[in-house]
Each structure stands twice: as C-alpha cells, then as structure tokens.
Structure 1
Amino acid sequence: MNLLSLFFVFEDIHSNLFIDIALLVTIGIIGGKLAELAHLPRVTGYIIIGMIFGPNLLNLFNAEIIADFKALKILGLGFIGYNVGLEVNFKMLKYNRNEVLFVTLFQALFTFFLVGGTILLVVNEFAWTYALIFGAIASVTTPAPIVACIRSYHTKGRLTQLLCPMIALDDVFGVILFALVLPISVYLAGHTGQEMTFGILLGEPLLEIGLSILIGGIIGFAVEWLLTYFNKGDAITIFLIIVVGLLFGIGFSYMFETSTILLPMMIGTVLSNKLSFDMRDRVRRISDNLILPILLVFFTLSGAELDIAILSTLEIIGIIYVLVRVAGKLLGTLMATSILGEEAKVRKYLGPALIPQGGVAIDMAILAEIRFIQLATETGNDVYTNVGSTILTVVLGAVVLYKIFGEIIVKWAFRKANEITEDDHTSHAHLI
C-alpha cells in the first residue's frame, strides 16, 4: 500500500505543470554541464538529454506533457530570432560594403543550390521539400567560434575584415531565405500531385516576409523609443520594455502566421542599429540573461520530441547535408573572391572559416518540425511528423560534427592566413 501511495503521489506531482517545468529546467542544466565537459555547445547537451528523458527512452516527458509546452517553444523561436537581430549592425558595412554583400550572397546561394540540387538527384520521397529546407538551412553559419577566435587571438588582416560583417549578414540572409522556402516546402509536401501556380507558391511566403519586416520594424522602433526615453532607468525597467516588445512581436507573428524567427529578428536589428553604443551594450547584456533560460527549456523540449527510431534511416541525406554543405561554402567563397580579385589567402581560407553551424540552424530545423507536426495534425497523416523529425535530426547531427571540428578549422584558417597576432589568453563562453 505504501508503494501504491507513493506511485499516486508521483503521478500527482508529474501532472503538475510547474513541477514539469522545474524538472525540465533541472535536466536541461545537467545536460548543458555534461556537454561543456565534453567540449560541446550547451545547446547540444540540452537536446541530447531531452532525447534521453523524452517519450523515446525514459518517458519522463511524454507526448501529452510536451504538447502542453507548445507556447514555450514558440517563445524560444522568437527570442532566438531577436538575438540574431542584435548582432546585425549595418555600421560594420561602412568599409568593404560591396565586397561583403557580394561574397555573402554568392556563397549562401551557391550552397543553397548545391545542397538542394544534390538532394533532388538522390532522394525520391519529398525530394523538393527536403531540397528547399536543407538548402536554406545549409546557407547559415554560426558566429560563435569565429568571434571567439577573432577576440581570443586578436586576429588582424583582410580575412578578418571580411569575416566580421559577413557572419551576421550570412544569418540574416539565411533566415530570410528560410522564411521564403518553408511555406513552399510545406505546401509541396501537403499537396503532392496537385497543380501548382506561381501565385500559390510565392504569394504566401512573400506576404509572410513583408508582414514580418513591417510589423517587426514598427515594434522595434517603438521599443527603441521607450529604451531611449528610459535610458537612465534601472535594469528591471529595460528588461520589462524588451520583454513586452518581444511578447507583442511573437504574439503578432503567431496571430498573422508570419515568420516566428524573422519578425523578432527585425526587432533586434532595429535596436542594434538605432540605439547608442552604450545603450546597445546594456540591452545586449540584459537580453543575454533573459534568453539563456528560455534557450535551455526550448532546446531540451525539442530534444524530447526527436524520434530516435529514424536515426538509422538518415545515412544518405545526412552525408549529403554535411559534406555537400562544406563543398558549397568552399567553392562558393572561392568563386566569389576570385571574381572580386581578392588576395590568395582570402580565396583559400575564407570558405573554411564559414563551415561552423550552431543554434540558428537548429532553430530553423525546429521551426520546420513544428510546421510539419501542424500539417500532420491537419491532414491526419503521421508521415509528415517523420519529415519534421528527419530535418531536425539531420541538422542536429551535423551541428555536433561541425562543433567538434569547426573551431579547429577556423583557428587553422586564421593561422594559415597569418592573421593570428597573439596567443589565446582569453576565456570565452558562447551564448548558444
């Protein structure tokens, strides 16, 4: 009887939403710490430990509990988009603007078409869906290891001059490209065999992007005005202004079914470019404290949703994504810098420095998974859930590989380009 009583007590606790949140945060912290010990990004630890405690293994968080946390996942997507926007400062384009824009767009589009085209040639089922989504995700680069090398080794030279503005623009362009192709991909998957028109395929995505930029820009300017007005306010005031602005932005994106990443990214971009240097630095510090716990919950939940059973079926598409993406970055930058007549070290080593991927790519994959789960619910066809799980699992595996080798490759590129001026004496931690 005592054991039976304990069982029912556990069931009562486990049905409590607040206890579930506490458990989720606790295991997320553990996963992040274990990942740091293994020299992996914390986000990888969050996702892996989420997989362990999710429905596939220990089932501490079953499908019903995960469904209750849907709002937290949408919140996480928005806050990560905002964080990307904070890194975009157009003043960095004051010098080398034309060169940076050309190389960024050229190599991103080249990678998109190379990865997507290869998938179209090899994959049979949902080929166009996978080609568009994986191509768009392949275009982005994570700034963290690049910024860490630049700051730690005090790199100087032409390679550094191009990389600093490129890493932010690369993510912006990738997010916009992804916002364009995701609705098309979902539509193609859900309307196989039906007649397609130009208006159907591009009308909705372009409307989503336009509304995201317009609404995000309006909210961004409103938040910037409030922050400037209360520039001498305490940290709590600044914190609340940011939170309220982001909640409105995420709420509007959900209401109007616009991009959950792009709209908040516009808010962050406006703040990054309109605020004074001191205020921008203050907002960034406060935002980091706000975003970290949300990232923890967001990625741990996403890991719990992963279907481990599909891992054994991902050999071909996973290999294509990892290897062809690297080829796209290397060849795309080589061609672009050759057209511009850049010096030899830039032509050789800019591509390797753009190989790492991280949180933004995972963010896109999770948004794709959410859209395909919604499609599965609307159509009653669980195969769409597997499509979303496949996208997330491939990107997660690729990010782990890129993390293991990415920082080594970036450091090698700077060293071969003779732009490392000092040894690493700087301790650094990455937000994602």
Structure 2
Amino acid sequence: FAIGGSLKLSKLRQLGKSILWINFSQALCACLFTFGLLAALGPWLLGAGFSREFFISGYLPMALIVGAVSAATAPAAVLAIVHEYRARGPLTTTLLGVVALDDATAIILFAFASSLGAAAIELDAFSCYRGLVLPSLMILAAVLWGALGGFLLTTLAGAVKRKESLLVVILGGLLLVSGIAGQLRLSPLLATMMVGFWSANRFKDGESLFQAIESIEEPIFALFFTLAGAHFDLQVIKLAGPLAVLIVLARFSGKLLGTKFGAGLAGAPQVVRKYLGYGLLPKAGVTVGLILVAQPPGNSQLYEVMLNAVLGSVIINELIAPPLVKYALLRAGEGIEE
C-alpha cells in the first residue's frame, strides 16, 4: 500500500524517461542474473540429484521467485546515506528516482514469476497460454481488482472524520482486498499496491491515508522482522550458505551491468553510468517480505533452503552494500564527508 502511494503520477512525469529505462534495465538484469546462476549452479551447490521433472516443476519455479525478489532495493538504507552525507547532484537525483520505482517493479516481477512458477509446476499442462498469457491476465486482474478496491476505500474514507476511525477503515479495506485477491488466486501484494496508487492519485486527501498508516508502521516492522528471523534454521543455513553467497554475487552483477546498460540507452551522464549501480545494491524489507509470502513449489524442504538462502543474502548484503553506496556518492563528488 505504501509503495503504491509513492508512485504519484506528477512525480513520475518529473523523473523522465531516462530513469524509467534505468529502472527497468537494472531490475530485469538483477532478476535474470540471479535466476540464471541459481538455475545453473544451485543444484550443484546443493549436491542434489534432481530428476528432470522436479528440476522443471520444483527447483526452477523457486529460482524464478528468488530472482524476482532480488530486483528490490532497500530505499531506507539509500536515503539514510544520502542524508548523512548531504549528497546532491545528477547521480543522487537519478538514484532517488530509480529507488522510488524499484520496489514497485520488484512486486510486478514477483507477481509474474509466481504465476509463471505455478504454471511450470503443472508440467504436463504447461503451454504458452499457461506460461505467458495466463500470468499476464492474472496480473491485469490483480491491478483491476486493486483499482476497484482503491475506489471503494477512498469513497468510504472520504466520509470518515476521525483519524482513529480512518485507520480502521484503511486496515479493513486492505485486508478485504488482500483476502479476496488470495481467494481469486491473484497477487495480494499487487492488488494492495494498486490500492495505494489509486489513493495517492485519485483521492484529494490521499496524504491523510498514508499518515494514518505511518502511526503503526514501527510495531508492524518490528513484528515483521521478528517473524522473518524465526525462519532461520541453523541446520538449513549450512546448506543454504553457498546459495546465499551466489545470490549476492548474481544480484550485484545484475544491478551493476543492468544499470550501466540502461544508463547508456538513456544517454545518462558518465558519472551516473559509472556509479549508480553501487547505489542500488542495498536490499532488506521488500525482499524479505516477498520471499515470506511466496508459495512453496510443492516441496517444503526446498522452500526452507531457498528462504534461508535469501535471508542469509540479506544479512551479507547489508554488511557490504551501504559502504558501497557511500563510496559511489563520494567518488562522484556529490557527498560531503566530515
């Protein structure tokens, strides 16, 4: 909901086409690089002798989902470093623009990967329709349902006067949209993101909805990361450790190369082409949230390994990525080091 609310049309128009090119390129490359390396090297690292059927209907869907969640960037970490070093300039402007779009792009990729993975699980029934057309229709249906939910929510919210009552209406509306989307086998994340998008762009007092949600963000985040940490299994992490390192390396490669490619297509300044990729390396909340809501591909043990691998990669990433963001801003001459 909050991510959708950050996608204001007036703001998107100001960002320009160059940022859209860069965002699409770096997100897609991070997804494809991670998926490709996991598909090629993952079974070897796990030491598992997969049958062809299980590899296609079990392992590949999970690798596809991990690839999709790897597209996300942690905006909070990037913003904190930008503010700490009071960075300003073309690199910083482009970085903040791409970060604003990146999580929404990751959710769309995740929705498509989940639908495609579900089609791949039913190996005997797999076809072009089930693999490409049906996932696209499911994503479109989730967007339309989210838009309808946003219309209903904002209509009801417009009649509410008290802030406390407004919070109840928002939470009830989001739970209803998410629950019905789940029952219809649509993406609850994409649907609720569309509710936020509608609220930010079609409701005259949309800011009040997001301010009401902000009042309960901290306890929700605390509960969220506590539940995520509870999924760590020390026995599984021994097996998942090499996969975690592979995910970090693949994602870094995809982000860096994808950013350079997109910046080149967009005709961005040299400083943006050279350093922007380093600013997009942090990942945290959205990645963890997406992998937690992913549906196990018919094999709970494989899901636990992949889940622990992603959580492990987040920890490794948060140790390495923030210093690289600082490096990029300072080398570009846009940060002030005291």
TM-score interval (norm. to shorter): 0.7 to 0.9
Residue 138 of structure 2 aligns with which residue? 208
1:352 CA displacement: 0.2
In structure 1, what is the Cα distance between the partners aligned to 2:289 and 2:112?
A: 16
Give yes or no for contact 2:330–2:336 (8 Å, CA) kept in 1: no
Give yes or no for contact 1:119–1:130 (8 Å, CA) kept in 2: no
Equivalences, count: 325
CA RMSD, 1 decimal: 2.2
Question: How far does the alpha carbon of each residue in 1:200-243 deviate from its partner, in whole angstroms, 9 at most, with x for none?
Answer: 2234422321221111111112222333444xx23212212212
Tell me: CA distance 1:227–1:152, structure 2 relative to 1, closer, same or farther (3 Å): farther
* Aligned match for 2:243, one of 297, 317, 320: 317
In structure 1, what is the Cα distance between the partners aligned to 2:34 and 2:106?
A: 14
1:308 is aligned with what amino acid? L
Residue 70 of structure 2 aligns with which residue? 138
Give yes or no for contact 1:92–1:165 (8 Å, CA) kept in 2: no
Give yes or no for contact 1:145–1:356 (8 Å, CA) kept in 2: yes
Report percent identity of matched pairs. Answer: 28
Give yes or no for contact 1:145–1:406 (8 Å, CA) kept in 2: no
Question: How far does the alpha carbon of each residue in 1:35-88 deviate from its partner, in whole angstroms, 9 at most, with x for none?
Answer: xxxxxxxxxxxxxxxxxxxxxxxxxxxxxxxxxxxxxxxxxxxxxxx2322222
* Aligned match for 1:332, one of 241, 258, 281: 258
* Aligned match for 2:16, one of 90, 97, 102: 97
Q: Which runs of 5+ in 2 are unaligned?
A: 44-49
1:343 CA displacement: 1.7
Q: Which runs of 5+ in 1 are unaligned?
A: 1-81, 377-383, 424-432
Are 2:292 and 1:366 aligned? yes
Q: State which structure, 1 or 2, has the greater radius of gyration over its C-alpha atoms.
A: 1
1:403 is aligned with what amino acid? E
Give yes or no for contact 1:217–1:267 (8 Å, CA) kept in 2: yes
Give yes or no for contact 1:133–1:181 (8 Å, CA) kept in 2: yes
In structure 1, what is the Cα distance between the partners aligned to 2:149 and 2:225?
A: 26
Q: Larger relative CO (CA 8 A, sep 6+): 1 or 2?
A: 2
Residue 195 of structure 2 aligns with which residue? 267
1:361 is aligned with what amino acid? T
In structure 1, what is the Cα distance between the partners aligned to 2:200 and 2:331?
A: 33
SS of corresponding position for 1:257: coil
Are 2:281 and 1:355 aligned? yes
In structure 2, what is the Cα distance between the partners aligned to 1:241 and 1:195?
A: 42
1:24-423 map, 5 Å: 82-124=1-43, 125=50, 126=55, 127-188=59-120, 190-191=121-122, 194=124, 196-230=126-160, 233-276=161-204, 279-368=205-294, 371-372=295-296, 376=298, 384-420=299-335
In structure 1, what is the Cα distance between the partners aligned to 2:323 and 2:240?
A: 26
In structure 1, what is the Cα distance between the partners aligned to 2:167 and 2:41?
A: 49
1:321 CA displacement: 0.6
